[in-house]
Structure 1
Amino acid sequence: MTEIISAKVLGAATSRAFPLGLSAPLQGDPARVVNVAVWAPELTELVLYFKAPDADWQAITLPEFSDGVHHGVVENMPIGSRYGFAAGDVEPADEQLLLDPYARAIDDAEGKLLGVRMFSGFDWSDDSAPHIPWRDSVIYEAHIKGLTQLHPEIPEEIRGSYAGLAHPAMIKHLTELGVTAVELLPIHAHLDEQHLRDAGLPNYWGYNTIGYFAPQASYASAAARAAGPQAVQDEFKGMVKLLHAAGIEVILDVVYNHTAEGKRFEPTLSWRGLAEKRYYRFHDDHYLDTTGCGNTLDFSEPKVIQMALDSLRYWVEEFHIDGFRFDLAVTLGRDAANNFNPQHPFLVAASTDRVLSGVKLISEPWDVGHDGWQTGRFPVGWADWNDHFRDSLRDFWLADQASIAAGGNGGGLARLADALSGSSRLFAASGRSQLASVNMVTAHDGFTLADLVAYNGKHNEDNREENRDGSDNNRSWNHGVEGATDDAAILSARAQSARNLMATLILSLGVPMLTAGDELGKTQRGNNNAYCQDNEISWLDWSAVDETMLLTTRRMLRLRREYLSAQPSTYPARGETSYLHWFDASGQPLSPEQWQDGSQRVLQMLLGSPDGLTDGLVVFNATASDVEVTLPGPGDEPSRQYEYRFSTSASYPKGQGREVSSGQTDLLAANTITIYRA
């Protein structure tokens, strides 16, 4: 059995019930002495088991108990010690100990999960957060491994790693593309669910957190993993430092809504053994699941709120993280009655906290519980993923087009204009501007942009769930053939639709989010739920780049910076007019009837500014025919000149730079977006 040693008080040193986890003692050598504090209010005793490097296991019953926290000052537990907890005597070499919810690293080298005592120092030198204003932000959602695993210019030994993302070749791609932030799929330590292990598949996306303070070790390079947890942590920090030096922010996708412990009777790993009925949301004697993942953390419990806030502060202060995207964020705003409250203590605290109020907070504004759709209702200080925007663009450019091609009707122009102008119906009522709208056409969850225009239905057979998983409501259009084809006309039409979707996303007010690979023409072969595909289905194929789409995306992001630079960052005050003006194909303001008329498929958007000047004109021709469009005039002012700058038509360079006067007509190609500089 493990040797049991007694707790010791070092001179006048006393243990503290805060901060939770491992922290420096009030007195004593912090290299070997540590204050340990764990919240476990229903346990009568809590035993710490630890193993210093090159030493035997030791155990100590934490001697103090304050407000539900077991705590004590422990000797001979240096940096690098592995540790865990139990409610009594166990054999730590054979049994899974309870993980510290505040563990800074998690090690599984001996077949069991153990926390690791870490050193927090790092040479940040002159690192400075870019602090990109929301007004100028362009987000790039990516997976650490999938982004660089196949990149030919990145050394093989660091592909798919934190170091790979920080390689000059990757930073060059990001800066030339024009994005200002990478939003990384979960990098918190996570586990594979049992049903995936049984099927021989991994949880590739990582939405199954086991440690909210620990980076995922498998995303570090082989050399860093071999060197140990400190090297893993340092590689991550080095990545952030190099991205910051390039002016790129780092946003983490975080999963505080549930944990990797899964359903109630699955193995106990941490929270379940420490305070199950306080950490998890219950209904009668069963877990109340608003996440669809087996358990739900109870954000009506102050200690759960504290854990999430402590974790967020840690990543900002220790890793210099610039923002967070909160998975299933409605769950984080549910009160004791399980109802969503926009003024929930966690939501308000995160947006007003001294450390967190300066970083970007982005909600995924839904969960699977009662009244789970809350887009537009999060408080000031938060931005929301805008599914309304996503659905409106897919309807306009794909579902409506498919309906028209089949002899049916499309929808009106109103939803498109609302999306282009920042979805004011959703966000203005809550006191937020269009910059609270994180606009997207795709995300990690769903079809890629290339697949959105190539498949009518999902093809998830590789997930081994008989194609039952994944959404059936994709609003996609295959343009006449399902999946891969050699038909040149269909390929051309698909590419045209993809460019239209990308251009509309980038030119809309709000904050655009691109999904990594969409600018390259990435396909997942119709899989719209590739969460368990750690292979070529999910990885970006840098040998098969759609150069036209890449150049279009770069060009559109340059035009966005140029055209929208004078747009206001808030909605006009009451009584003022909008700085966006709308016209029909004849150059006249649209009537109320035209907005709702499904046969109207041409829209002109004139971009104004607070000083009354006009920056540009964007014309959407969503008809199947070339259209003569009369460019709008300035009323009683002299005629305005428009310079033809860009079109999503494949032939746009032929006319680039020519000028057209207001009141004159211009022939615009079918199913295109055309951009003029005023």
Structure 2
Amino acid sequence: MGYIWINLCQTVRVLDRVNATLNHGIPTRLRDHPLAAGRPFPLGATFDGQGVNFAVFSEHADAINLCLFTDDGRKERARIPLLERDGDVWHVYVTGLTPGAKYGYRVQGPYAPEDGHRFNYNKLLLDPYAKRISGKLRWSDAVMGYRVGSTKGDLTFDNRDSAFAVPRSMVVDPSFNWGDDKAPCTSPSDTLIYETHVKGMTARMPGVSPMTRGRFLGLSSEPVLEHLNKVGVTTVQLMPVQAFVDDHFLSQKGLRNYWGYNTIGFFAPEPRYMTDQGIWEFQTMVRRFHSAGIEVVLDVVYNHTAEGNEMGPTLSFRGFDNLSYYRLAADKRFYVNDTGTGNTLRTDHPMVLRLIMDSLRYWVEVMHVDGFRFDLATILAREKSGFDRQGGFLDALRQDPVLGNVKLIAEPWDLGPGGYQLGNWPHPFMEFNDKYRDNLRKYWRGDRGLTADLAKRIVGSAEQFDHSGRAATSSINFVTVHDGFVLEDLVSYNVKHNAANGEENRDGKDDNYSDNTGHEGPTDDAAIRAARALRKRNLLATVFLSQGTPFLLSGDEIGNSQWGNNNTYAQDNDQGWVNWHKPDQKLLAFVERLSRLRRDHPVLRQSRFLHSRARRTDGKPDLFWRMPDGRAPTATDWQNPDWRALSVEVRTSSDTPAYAASTDVLFLTFNAGDEVTVVLPDLPAGCLWKLVLDTAAPDEGPQCINGATARVAAQSVCVFAQTPA
């Protein structure tokens, strides 16, 4: 006890000297902010009604200073040393400071790139836990920790002050009147995911106020909510909304980072999507979505930061503790680049793992989001031995009581060795299934020998996901996503047209499995337009009719085009935004019909896999594949490259308990060949088959089938429902 008392007395005396120093020659208003020791938890800037506690992590720093700025953020009005250190957390308490205060840090330590250290006291740093960021990065040589242009490159040291070019961290009061807000908690079986972009969705959308277009408030406005409800969307997946910066090379070309996969603030909403009013705008957006019965999932980028490789800027993490935050190569000077962006976060470090977990909990508890899609997720689960489905990150995530009830979605790959991990994620993760995307594109393009692969995708890719108690909803079934061709371009272009990105058309995927149906780009040819429209309907119908979780890209439902650009990451303009000027109303009505069809038929959205096993309720198989003549396909049939008409009879899974079993029965036909006559399955007494969907005749309503056969048009999908006579 005596030892603690002595240390406390010493702390008080030191802080008194600091206060006295600060109070000498500074504006009067700062004299009302006496200092105290503060506490090491929570990290970041925390307002408690009386003042603000500041706490930051650095394992290898020698000294850390808190920099306070004037209200306009232009002038540094105080520099406060953090004299208290608990382990590797440095902290101080500033009495009387209120939300809205702008601040940053300067960190002193060794500048020794060969040893992994890149401290530079001259560089103003953003708080890694900043809840709000004010201003934007001004690209200047001053933000680099080394002397730009020197023959020694990053081994040199730059002593210029970067404060004029760096955004400010801000103190916030996160309290918000949530009222009766309640998370929709939509079950995976009932989920329809809709990926969208805050600005891209609203920049040209009729009915959205010009003042809120491109902002959180515009995205949650009535026209958007009405449209999403009409389509049947249950879950919006927002492209990155955590604070990010525009890449230097894009700024030099006059472009911007439109997509946002260049994060610098894992707790702060992106400023360009808000006015100057505060984070309540994001919270209001979430509350409005919830009131419309729609979940909010964030696309999060915890695999790398905006600081790039050894030649990148010093904005935050690098300046606080480069050796702790980043995965470094064996020589420690260079960065591991499993992301393709220059650096990789060191998620096996306990404080970096804590940063990620704290960030996730913050977005759930304070901002009320409903889940996360992890960009290049394999990186997060990498241990020293490689991907580990029982590694630290996944174990921490799965046991966390706050995160246990939100949706978790993995992009199951990265660019590192052994990075492709489709199907290897533990429950309750859902995964983006690129095998599904590629198989569907090839099948409906007319490639031979893909019928067996299509069958696997229709039943939820069980060979990938049916293990370890995982659900059939684990597979996220998509045919388009933000990177790659949008649906309209998938049927309109054979090759990418990315010249606008300024990279001589070298960027973006070359393998798109697309087909222009006879003409590259837009055309007035009626036959080509009709063929494109049919193929779009076939692709969309297959997505909605497959076991798994359906996924829809914003704008695909109205025929939006990006003019053949399959990598619009830098196109913050009409090419990247959704064009609402001439929406394809017929396609929109068809998507609405698909959504209703999926909701009306439980067999299309099962949580248990189908394996052609006899059901306990009636002894009938839950899945029965059929050739056009009604017989079961043989091994030879499955290997026949010319088999183009796949039919399947679907019932409730044999694993479904009797109390949850459904009488719903569907017969689906996916015909990528010529017109064919299919034999319909036998029916119980008193029932008939009703054609409830035909992509070749999208405007026709349900039709009862008289007889044992039905004609299926060339290049079409048909759905027959067993119905009481």
- Find out whether 1:294 has 2:342 as its counterpart: yes
**8 Å Cα contact 1:140-1:182 kept in structure 2:** yes
C-alpha separation between the residues in 2 aligned to 1:413 and 1:541? Answer: 35
Partner of residue 421 from structure 2, selected from 374, 383, 386:
374
Alpha-carbon distance between aligned partners in 2 of 1:417 and 1:170, rounded to the nearest angstrom: 35
Which amino acid in the other structure matches residue 412 of structure 2? P
* Equivalent position of 2:521 in the other structure: 483
- Determine if the alignment matches structure 1 residue 616 to structure 2 residue 662: no
Q: What is the letter of the counterpart of residue 674 of structure 1? A: C
Is 1:492 aligned with 2:501?
Answer: no
Partner Cα distance (1:139, 1:520) in 2: 16
**Equivalence for 1:106:** 133
1:3·1:59 contact (CA, 8 Å) conserved in 2?
no
Q: In 2 relative to 1, CA 113–514 (structure 1 residues): closer, same or farther, beyond 3 Å?
A: same
| Counterpart among 558, 561, 570 of residue 520 in structure 1 | 558
Q: What secondary structure sits across from 1:232 in the alignment? A: coil
Q: Tell me what 1:5 maps to.
A: 22
Superposition pairs of residues 577-656 of structure 1, within 5 angstroms: 579-609=622-652, 610=656, 611=661, 613-623=663-673, 625-634=674-683, 637-638=684-685, 640-649=687-696, 651-654=697-700, 656=701
Equivalent position SS for 1:325:
strand
CA contact (8 A) 1:50 1:77 kept: no
Q: 1:3 to 1:518 in 2, by over 3 A?
A: farther
Deviation at 1:470, TM superposition (A): 0.2
Answer yes or no: is the 8 Å Cα contact 1:422–1:509 preserved in 2.
yes
1:40-68 alpha-carbon deviations (Å, 9 max, x no partner): 11111111111363796112111111211
CA displacement at 1:613 relative to structure 2: 3.3
Q: Check whether the contact 1:446–1:529 (CA below 8 A) recurs between aligned residues.
A: yes
1:3–1:437 CA distance, 2 compared to 1 (3 A): farther
Aligned residues of 2:191 and 2:234 also touching (Cα < 8 A):
yes
Q: Take 2:610 and 2:534, find their aligned partners in 1: how far apart are those partners?
A: 34
Alpha-carbon distance, 1:571 to partner: 2.8
Counterpart amino acid of residue 262 in structure 1: G
Match of 1:452 in 2: 490
* Larger CA Rg, structure 1 vs 2: 2
Asked if structure 2 preserves the Cα contact closer than 8 Å seen for 1:422 and 1:435, the reply is yes
Name 1:502's counterpart in structure 2: 540
1:20 to 43, 47, 59: 43
Comparing 265-274 with 126-135, which one deviates more in the overlay?
Answer: 265-274
Are positions 1:666 and 2:710 aligned together?
yes
The count of aligned residue pairs is 644
What is the match of residue 676 of structure 1? 720
Q: Relative to structure 1, is the Cα distance of residues 102 and 205 closer, same or farther in structure 2, using a 3 angstrom cutoff?
A: same
Post-superposition offset of 1:555:
0.3
- Map residues 409-424 of structure 1 onto 2, 5 A cutoff: 410-424=448-462
Q: 2:562 is aligned with what amino acid? A: Q
Deviation digits for residues 241-275 of structure 1, max 9, x if unmatched?
01100000000000000001111222201100111
- Match status 1:248 vs 2:275: no
In structure 1, the residue corresponding to 2:414 is in which secondary structure?
coil
Q: Within 5 Å, give how 1:263-342 maps onto structure 2.
A: 263-284=309-330, 285=332, 286-337=334-385, 339-342=386-389
Is residue 51 of structure 1 aligned with residue 97 of structure 2?
A: no
- The one-letter code sitting in structure 1 at the alignment partner of 2:531 is A
Q: Cα distance 1:453–1:12, how it changes in 2: closer, same or farther (>3 A)? A: closer
Q: Which residue is 2:58 aligned to?
A: 40
Cα pair distance change 1:42/1:567, threshold 3 Å: closer
Q: CA RMSD in A?
A: 2.4
CA distance in 1, matches of 2:721, 2:53: 63
**Structure 1 residues 658, 78: CA separation in 2 closer, same or farther (over 3 Å shift)?**
closer
Q: Greater CA deviation, 159-168 or 436-445?
A: 159-168
The code of the aligned residue for 1:585 comes to: P
Cα displacement (A) at 1:396: 0.8
What is the CA deviation profile of residues 14-73 of structure 1, one whole-angstrom value per residue up to 9, with x for unaligned ones?
Answer: 53222211225xxxxx33422211111111111111136379611211111121111122
Residue 170 of structure 1: SS of its match in structure 2?
helix
Structure 1 residues 573 and 598, CA gap change in structure 2 (3 angstroms): closer
What is the one-letter code of the residue matched to 1:101?
P
1:156 counterpart SS class: coil
Deviation at 1:215, TM superposition (A): 0.3
Equivalent position to 1:397, from 428, 444, 447 = 444
Tell me, in whole angstroms, the C-alpha distance in 2 between the residues paired with 1:12 and 1:397.
Answer: 68
Alignment of 1:49-448 (within 5 A): 49-51=67-69, 53=71, 57-87=77-107, 96-108=123-135, 111-220=165-274, 225=275, 228=276, 231-284=277-330, 285=332, 286-337=334-385, 339-398=386-445, 401=446, 403=447, 410-448=448-486
Separation in structure 2 between the aligned mates of residue 642 and residue 233 of structure 1, nearest angstrom: 54
Distance 2:522 2:611 in 1: 50
Task: Give the CA deviation at 1:4.
Answer: 5.2
Structure 2 distance, partners of 1:671, 1:197, is: 46
Letter in 2 for 1:560: R
Q: Structure 1 residues 507 and 572, CA, compared in 2 at 3 Å: closer, same or farther? A: closer
**Pair 567,469 (structure 1): closer, same or farther in 2 beyond 3 Å:** closer
- CA–CA distance in structure 1, aligned partners of residues 77 and 612 of structure 2: 69
Distance in structure 1 (CA, Å) of the matches to 2:167 and 2:82: 21
- The more displaced of 298-307 and 574-583 is 574-583
Tell me which of 537, 557, 564 is aligned to 2:595. 557
Contact 1:412 1:599 in 2 (8 A): no
Return the offset for 1:430. Answer: 4.0
Gaps of 5+ in 2: 1-18, 24-29, 110-120, 137-163, 616-620
**Structure 1 CA distance, aligned partners of 2:499 and 2:578?**
20
